[in-house]
Structure 1
Amino acid sequence: MNTLQAIVLAIIEGITEFLPISSTGHMIIASTFYGIAQEDFTKLFTIVIQLGAILSVLVLYFKRFFQSFDFYFKLLVGFIPAVVLGLLFSKKIDELLESPVMVAISLLVGGIILLKVDDWFNTSEETEITYTKAVKIGLFQCLAMIPGVSRSGASIVGGMSQKLSRTAAAEFSFFLAIPTMLGATAKKCFDYYQDGYVLTGDQINLLVIGNIVAFIVALLAIKSFITFLSNRGFKIFGYYRIAAGLILLIIHYFIHPLTVI
């Protein structure tokens, strides 16, 4: 991976992290076209730079993180399902990270679901997050362990299924991402060293650049998404996912295989 590739992947991450279109899926596709998707450092990079994007939430919602200890406990409760399932299926998740076809299928199926979400869950104005709701949203978030299933999309839909408003569901999804991505980053770095790899100076620089770029781009993207989601809903993202999934499948099966599954 070179600096330009790192910057492009970080821009993709910053733009897509808070949209229900899968940031990991888009980075897998981009890194596949670059021919670096199966490199161990690329897999580490695509996880670690998500932390940079997620930390933009701390800046934009700084005051919200000091509202009560109850808030932190609810985040912890919502985070637990990802910890358990992440530890149980970490190897399988790594294998799926090499498959653009899995991403394409997930994009397609998720797009169809997003077209129906606003009809399934009538828009509500409820904003209260209970512990039960936090657990259920955390379970929905775990669907994003499948590449192409958006973490933000899954957890927002999970929140709406618990009668939360779009905005409340989206904001809790953003907050929940912080412990989730902190945990995922720590686990990925630990596994990387356990497998015998040591980061070089150039790789550390790429990680720093990637996190900074993802952080800045995410700052610009997150507020726009909240406004759009509140006013327009999910359908445009559903259409985008369906189109992207179909295009990727056509490329893979009729033009040139993206990878070997």
Structure 2
Amino acid sequence: MDILELVKSAFLGFIEGISEWLPISSTGHMILVDEFVKLNVSQNFWNMYLVVIQLGAILAVCLLFFRDLNPFSIKKRPVERHATWALWGKIVLGCIPAAALGIPLNDWMEEHLLSAEVVALALIGYGIAFIVIELVRRRQHQKRVVALMSEPMGAHFTVDAQRDIEADRQREVGMSNLDELSWKTALGIGCFQVLSLIPGTSRSGSTILGGLMLGCNRELASKFTFFLAIPVMFGASLLKVVRFFQKGGSFGTDETIILLVGCVVAFVISLLAISWLMRFVRKHSFIPFGVYRILLGAAVLAYFFVLK
């Protein structure tokens, strides 16, 4: 077993663990990384590997949000277990649009749209969208603050009341918890997930944008995005493995170890990336990710159409 191949797989797992959850496009990163870090495997195995290492990433979501997702917890009251089952219903509903289009169009998408040009344009386009949407939300928040400040304080205004108003000024506009997420909103976010079929869009990026536009705050949009990934990524991995074997693919001990290393590293890095993102969005906007996407898209264009 070549140790260098394991190092490459670990690096790819690292990239997957970060780029899968941050709205920056794992495909955009992988298409660049593939130019410099190539596993010594068949093309058929490589195509399968890129999808299956997502299993490590998705297991991190299951672990971090186990309480939110577990409807059998004895620590939950009946009403909470009912709410968890309802959440799973919304997750499944949100996955239907992507499954309905993604399964029949998967091979066509890979053949016609998996190119550096498409990935770069998607990176830049959605980067601009993130910046515009966040600026619009910022203006809405500023109007809300001005309205609060213009309200008369009254004769019985207290320090506690002032503290409440200040907290309200800082509070982000939008739905903030899973119980507020309606079935209609869940389906709407799922429709945005369809956009992620275009390489470079970013599954998390498209669904987070959808959540923001449909009235969720950043934390809720991010969390529901993670939940939507569970059936989508498990299903995509299973489909990729089935098609790998249908095309006559097979792998031995070395390939199995390479795949396991990528999955394990993706799992560990995903734990860190998801935890960091949930802390970040409580106090910051997605504008830095929009700027990063634009720069990455420009880098992809420059490398493939100017430097290469």
Q: Which amino acid aligns with 1:116?
A: V
CA distance in 1 between counterparts of 2:99 and 2:120 reads: 26
Higher Cα radius of gyration? 2
Residue of structure 2 aligned with 1:146, choices 187, 194, 198: 198
- Residues 24/250 of structure 1: CA separation in 2 closer, same or farther (3 Å cut): closer
Question: Larger relative CO (CA 8 A, sep 6+): 1 or 2?
Answer: 2
Is contact 1:38–1:98 with CA below 8 Å preserved after alignment? no
Q: Does 1:42 align with 2:67?
A: no
- The CA deviation at 1:25 is 2.1
Is contact 1:96–1:102 with CA below 8 Å preserved after alignment? no
Post-superposition Cα deviations, 1:9-59, rounded to whole Å, max 9, x if no partner, equal 100011111111011221222113335699222221111111211210111
**Matched residue, 1:195:** 247
Where does the alignment leave 5 or more consecutive residues of structure 2 unmatched?
A: 71-80, 141-171
Aligned residue pairs total 256
Indicate the percent of aligned positions where both proteins have the same amino acid: 37
Q: Does 1:16 align with 2:29?
A: no
Post-superposition Cα deviations, 1:82-115, rounded to whole Å, max 9, x if no partner, equal 2111112111222257522322221111111111
The TM-score normalised by the length of structure 2 is 0.78
- The CA deviation at 1:135 is 1.1
- The CA deviation at 1:2 is 2.2
CA distance in 2 between counterparts of 1:171 and 1:59 reads: 13
Is contact 1:117–1:234 with CA below 8 Å preserved after alignment? no
Residue of structure 2 aligned with 1:73, choices 89, 94, 97: 89
Is contact 2:14–2:266 with CA below 8 Å preserved after alignment? yes
- Residues 4/93 of structure 1: CA separation in 2 closer, same or farther (3 Å cut): farther
- The CA deviation at 1:250 is 1.4
Is contact 1:75–1:175 with CA below 8 Å preserved after alignment? yes
- The 5-angstrom pairing of residues 1-261 of structure 1 reads 2-35=5-38, 39-66=43-70, 67=81, 68-95=84-111, 98-121=114-137, 122=140, 123-126=172-175, 127=177, 128-256=180-308
Is contact 2:8–2:38 with CA below 8 Å preserved after alignment? no
The TM-score normalised by the length of structure 1 is 0.92
Is contact 2:28–2:119 with CA below 8 Å preserved after alignment? yes
Q: Which amino acid aligns with 2:193?
A: Q
Post-superposition Cα deviations, 1:53-96, rounded to whole Å, max 9, x if no partner, equal 12101111110012421111111101111211111211122225
| Greater displacement, 172-181 / 114-123 | 114-123
Q: Which amino acid aligns with 1:75?
A: I
